[in-house]
Amino acid sequence: MTLFNKLRANGFNPKNEILSGLTVALALVPEAVAFSLIANVSPLIGLYSAFIIGLITALIGGRPGMISGATGAVAVVVVSLVARHGVEYLFAAVVLMGLIQIAVGVLKLGKFIRLVPHPVMFGFVNGLAIVIAMAQLAQFKTINAQGTETWLTGTPLWIMAGFALLTMAIIHFLPKLTKAVPSSLVALVVVSAFIIFFQIPTRTVGDIASIAGGLPEFHLPLVPLTYETFAIIFPYSLIMAMVGLIESLLTLTVIDEMTETRGNSNQEALAQGIANITTGFFGGMGGCAMIGQSIINVSSGGRFRLSGIVAAVGLISFVLVGAPLIEQVPMAALVGLMFMVAIGTFEWASLKIIRKVPTTDVIVMVLVAGVTVLFHNLAVAVLIGVVISALAFAWENAKRIRARKHIDANGAKHYQIYGPLFFGSIAAFNEKFEILSDPDQVIIDFKESRVVDHSAIEALHKITERYAKVGKTVRLLHLSPDCHKLLEKASAIIEVNYYEDPHYNVATDQLPVTS
């Protein structure tokens, strides 16, 4: 079987891949321009970044079908860097950003994205959906004669809203009639043709900025190679690298769920790093995966690398030869497309389960979405969500530790511990023991428990020490092999008083246990 036949057997459809890629390329233009303006750089810098990053990640990335390019999440990080030090420092920071991302991929740290809880994922995508929708509202504003920004009124408002709704209607209803071509592309072409043919006055891509230009050229960042330069760019590079990886790997997870396949997070981290180093040396602003464009691509039938390659090549083709035509595309059509992306991105299922999941999960979902919307800082939003989820998990497990007590025929008192012993359960663990009233022989049985961390070892040290002070002996039973290793590693720091059996192999026949 040839390679092409194997691809066809896995659902590869060249027509869908090409048309989907073209749809994405059209939608990339205004976003790349807008993100360039956010970062206070030339629109062509954003377009070149989208082309380079999109092409490299499409070729070697860990998630076929995922679209990468210049993004707002990265753009907002570099605003102050460009304002204070100039655009050349931005290029240097992007190169360093890529090196950090490559290090993450080489060290195989991408797997830690699996530690992100599902409520954080819900909050992430819901927050991004709201951000995508709110970003479109800027097209419903204009600058008046006094130079202030006001909302559109009258005919311009109805034209913008009407054609945006028409675009949304085509995207929604066309798949019910035919799936031969991507509904998003049909909507853009139909609405654009209608507005251009009847010369309806409305805002177009060309009204935002001209996208005409040549190929990106190799450019070494014109900054001094000194420690001072490194000190200036490193904080920005680190934040951009982390924000870019978090958004990319979370987007990868979302696309995995949509396609019921699995991408490679470490390979994606490497690809993102190589792409950002390259774009830094070609005068780019850096970027990462784009959840909105990725959803457009997958929803339009783009599941393989070809769609991403077509999107990148299509974008640079617009810059080289298609600028006059693309600049006539009405913003109303693109606004309608992005509104549909926002609707498709939002996890509506999260609203249905609010009363069915723990309150902590609901708080995490709302908080992550809120931070994403208010501050556009995905790294902070996800970090907050993970920390709260981890603390909630620790609290729940801390409440599970308990002890069953009994005295055997030899007069020894047994404490059968249930639940994990770790930093959160130490206080409850210590409350279980009746040191002064206990007999001289005490056995702590960990058959249904395990020693998890350094705090747990410290607790064992203290409890055996307290018994020793009143002349009583403590033995530990049924410690698991991993507990043995943990205790052995900590022996140079903490001395746990075992009194007998330094290898923790206390045999049950030495001290009979009764039920």
Task: Give alpha helix (H) positions in 300-405.
Answer: 305-317, 323-326, 331-345, 349-352, 359-375, 378-398
Cα separation of 65 and 56, whole Å? 13
pLDDT of residue 4: 57
pLDDT of residue 502: 41
**pTM of the predicted structure, to 2 decimals:** 0.74
pLDDT of residue 496: 52
Residues 6+ apart with CB under 8 A from 270: 60, 62, 101, 102, 105, 106
Residue closest to 69 by CA, chosen among 60, 81, 82, 56: 56
pLDDT of residue 509: 37
What's the gap between Cα 126 and its chain centre?
12
pLDDT of residue 83: 87
Residue 319 is given by DSSP the state: I
DSSP string computed for 233-274? HHHHHHHHHHHHHHHHHHHHHHHHHHHT----HHHHHHHHHH
Cα separation of 26 and 94, whole Å? 25
> Angle of helix 265-281 relative to helix 87-106, nearest 10 degrees?
160
pLDDT of residue 7: 61
Phi and psi at 336, nearest 5°, equal -60, -40
- Tell me the mean pLDDT per 10 residues along the chain, length 515: 61 87 89 80 92 96 93 80 92 96 91 80 85 86 84 93 95 87 87 93 87 92 94 90 87 89 92 96 93 89 92 94 90 89 85 87 92 78 87 83 91 92 90 92 89 86 88 84 70 48 40 37
pLDDT of residue 500: 41
Tens-digit pLDDT profile for residues 146-164 = 778 899 999 999 999 999 9
Residue closest to 434 by CA, chosen among 407, 461, 400, 398: 407
pLDDT of residue 6: 63
> Angle of helix 154-177 relative to helix 331-345, nearest 10 degrees?
60
pLDDT of residue 514: 35
CATH of 402-510, one of 3.20.20.70, 3.30.300.30, 3.55.40.10, 3.30.750.24: 3.30.750.24
pLDDT of residue 8: 64
Cα separation of 491 and 134, whole Å? 57
DSSP string computed for 75-93? HGGGHHHHHHH-HHHHHHH
Domain boundaries, the chain: 12-142+209-324+348-376, 402-510
CA distances from 178 to 175, 182, 225, 428, 502 (A): 5, 9, 58, 63, 74
